Chain A
Amino acid sequence: MSAAFSSVRAVCHPGSFAGEKRGPPATAASGKFASGFLGSSGKVWFGALPAYVRAAPSARRRGSFSVVAVSDVVKEKKPKRSSSPPDLLVTKEEGLELYEDMVLGRTFEDMCAQMYYRGKMFGFVHLYNGQEAVSTGFIKLLKQEDCVVSTYRDHVHALSKGVSSRAVMSELFGKTTGCCRGQGGSMHMFSKEHNLLGGFAFIGEGIPIATGAAFTSKYRREVLKEADCDHVTVAFFGDGTCNNGQFYECLNMAALWKLPIVFVVENNLWAIGMSHLRATSDPQIWKKGPAFGMPGVHVDGMDVLKVREVAKEAIGRARRGEGPTLVECETYRFRGHSLADPDELRDPAEKAHYAARDPIVALKKYIRENNLASEAELKAIDKKIDEVIEDAVEFADASPPPSRSQLLENVFADPKGFGIGPDGRYRCEDPKFTEGTAHV
């Protein structure tokens, strides 16, 4: 599936004017480090030659890769495995895995709505219905060590990454069995085990965090010499975020330093009640990739198989150390911004248009039309997921709320951070401290 990227022209050669931008001082000398890390090597001025003389070749090399912008993704692909018919995009096992993950996401979120209205969860709860193809299309291609960084709409990203329904549901119920023991909540899902580096409640906040994780992968490989560290980070965020400065700052640094990251825009066309078209001067977000020297790709985010093809290319590119990719997935949320949103601004015709393109229905159709699985097999998955979600709710409901002692735990990794009490001892050593009654 290199076609999606290679079929288009190079649109940008930043190397062609490298070197003119900054001349060294007349007296400056130049030296060079062997490492190519961060792409800035060879510009250290303490050797013999002017910096730009040495910098130019590497800059030219960096600028010479093809930067790609495509908006149509090739639909039919050659087979990935001999077991699958020659014109199919997925094997039976892959198809069913995608189906199960998307049904899990959908069923989980529908249950969240029920539980929210029953008062079992509270605060802001943002549901992912309609966007499942994006989470499933990308995350199911990742390894456990790969990182996912999400937003406040993070339940389904957590589920796709492997966090159990029980742990996510309990977190939403504010129970101590939640993945963050009830201390995070709907918008802040974390799991070290699954390398889910967080749901973030601020627009744009997760992008630098994700870029930092990608920086770490590169650092581990090139500085700490962990040769097998080819971990990739996928950052999810929405169309509204693409008007925020942190997005641009990180596109720049990720491309500059060739970090192993994929920036995934879940463009659901609406930032709460602000239409993407009303907020963005050029609504084609994918075009911003080439502006920073990285491929920009537009893909139908209601089609998990198309998303998966693009994701394979982008993740592979990152894993090979060839740098970041910006992927714009055009998708739609079937519910309001959050469960507190009356959702009055979106046109019913628009909602109907996208509802007719439900990604789960589309995948089901593909599976049936190509005889990848029987109706009964799909039904069995639906039933299994219903049971998983029922179990998660029962588990969350029966779980205890956090104990009082939890109030003061985890503020610091080292609880001596609470300082020294009037008796001259660390406050955390006071037995009352863990009971949550000690004055801090």
Chain B
Amino acid sequence: MLSILRRRAAAGGSDAVLLSERLRKSCAAAMMRFQGYTTAAKEMTVREALNSVLDEEMSADPRVFLMGEEVGEYQGAYKVSKGLLQKFGPERVVDTPITEAGFTGIGVGAAYYGLRPVVEFMTFNFAMQAIDHIINSAAKTNYMSAGNISVPIVFRGPNGAAAGVGAQHSHCYAAWYGSCPGLKVLVPYSSEDARGLLKAAIRDPDPVVFLENELMYGERFPVSAEALDSSFCLPIGKAKIEREGKDVTITAFSKMVGLSLEAAEILAKEGISAEVINLRSIRPLDRSTINASVRKTNRLVTVEEGFPQHGVGAEIGMSIVEDSFGYLDAPIERITGADVPMPYAANLERMALPQIEDIVRAAKRVCYRSVPMAATA
């Protein structure tokens, strides 16, 4: 309803813009007053957010098209592309055969030649079949061609662990793509992130790897009127402080932001004020925000689903050592996935992934609060 009001307002000229400003403000105020009362704020799942962005960006720019397995008639393996085929037709919502190397390369070639493809992977695990095109054809070409050929393409799909899908469907690739120059790597957590980051990715002139999370698609988040605006874009490379705190900095991305926020709640009850940073962007990494936070809290815990060695946490930790070593009051702690291929059994899988209590324990350790030893698996 809000968006309809705003659209009407926008149509009425400058007075109407003022009106819309006022509307937005009063709505924001209303949202604050009725916090927790869901009908007051517009809510949206991450899936709906992604879907709405694809819809809006394809409407705005005819060069944007979506291709991948089951994106069309099936409406998306995870229904992210629901309704798009009906709206844009099979020429812009392109169902491909099961040929990642082939269709990813076709997408990259289309980007070389002037289109703005969005390539969906059913999961980023399958992108391994196409990594040659993501790294060699997409990431390196602007440089190799000395700016002759830019590659405005988005590779998107679910990344990391889902539930019970085993080793070949549960890998987090943030650190892999994050290590490659020429790529931008975005990791949305909330619906607002999904909207602002996916729009930024589609409009960006460079290749963007957009790592979603299957378990987050159905999560609902409140979204502001601003985030619902079709012009809403988040800056690439800027992290968001999801919760301010003063005792310990916790960095996280994607699903792990939610766990970290829950951990922060628990820590607050025990008198520890945790600052939770939602990275939003793995590459470029917002070293400025992370370092500023650590200089304030003097302690750092990094959280990620991926493997420990050469992980995102390793990079963040090193950036603190380089830029803010003198501010640290405790060793940096990394909470990561276990250093094993993902096991299938539910209990083992749980042990292989970071849990809220792991984050709480690590935060307490860096604050030198005595904690019981972690139970040995």
Contacts and interface: CB of A to CB of B under 8 A. Distances in A.
Interface in A384-400: none
Contact of B145 (A192, A209, A211, A420): A192
Interface string B91-122: 11011110101111111111111110000000
A413 B205 CA distance: 6
B301 to A, nearest CB: 21
Q: For B104, B106, B150, which residue has the most chain A Cβ atoms within 10 angstroms? A: B106
A46 interface: yes
A197 B92 CA distance: 23
Given A208-B108, A253-B102, A183 B287 contact: no
Interface string A195-228: 1011011101101111111111101101110000
A198 B99 contact: no
A197 B85 contact: no
A35 B90 CA distance: 8
A245 B105 CA distance: 12
Contacts of A213: 109-110, 112-113
A125 interface: no
Q: Is the interface of A mostly helix, strand, loop or mixed?
A: loop
B238 interface: yes
Nearest to B286: A420
Contact of B91 (A37, A181, A184, A216): A37
B147 A410 contact: yes
A216 B90 contact: no
A198 B149 contact: yes
A35 B91 contact: yes
A392 to B, nearest CB: 18
A180 interface: yes
A144 to B, nearest CB: 14
Nearest to A217: B113
Contacts of A420: 237-238, 284, 286-289
B106 A215 contact: yes
A192 B148 contact: yes
A40 interface: yes
A246 interface: yes
A422 interface: yes
Contacts of B238: 420
Contacts of B179: none
A419 interface: yes
Interface stretch (B133-141, B218-226, B366-374): B133-141
Contact of B206 (A180, A412, A422): A412
B109 A197 contact: yes
Given A44-B90, A208-B106, A191 B148 contact: yes
Nearest to A40: B90
B181 interface: yes
Nearest to A214: B109
A45 interface: yes
Contact of A250 (B95, B102, B108, B115): B102
Given A209-B105, A209-B112, A413-B150, A419 B285 contact: yes
Interface of A: 33, 35, 37-38, 40-41, 43-46, 147, 149, 179-185, 188, 190-192, 195, 197-198, 200-202, 204-205, 207-217, 219-220, 222-224, 245-246, 249-250, 252-253, 256, 409-414, 416-424, 426
Given A180-B146, A413-B205, 12 more contacts: A33-B91, A35-B89, A197-B149, A202-B132, A214-B109, A215-B106, A249-B103, A252-B97, A411-B143, A411-B181, A417-B184, A420-B288
Interface of B: 62-63, 65, 72-73, 85-86, 89-92, 94-97, 99, 101-115, 132-133, 136-137, 141-152, 181-182, 184, 204-206, 236-238, 281, 283-289, 291-292, 323
Please name the 4 residue pairs, one residue from A and one from B, whose CB atoms are nearest each other, closest first.
A212-B109, A208-B105, A419-B284, A249-B102
22 contacts: A35-B89, A35-B90, A38-B90, A44-B72, A45-B73, A182-B146, A183-B145, A192-B145, A192-B148, A197-B149, A208-B137, A209-B137, A212-B105, A212-B110, A213-B112, A213-B113, A215-B109, A219-B115, A223-B62, A249-B102, A253-B96, A253-B106
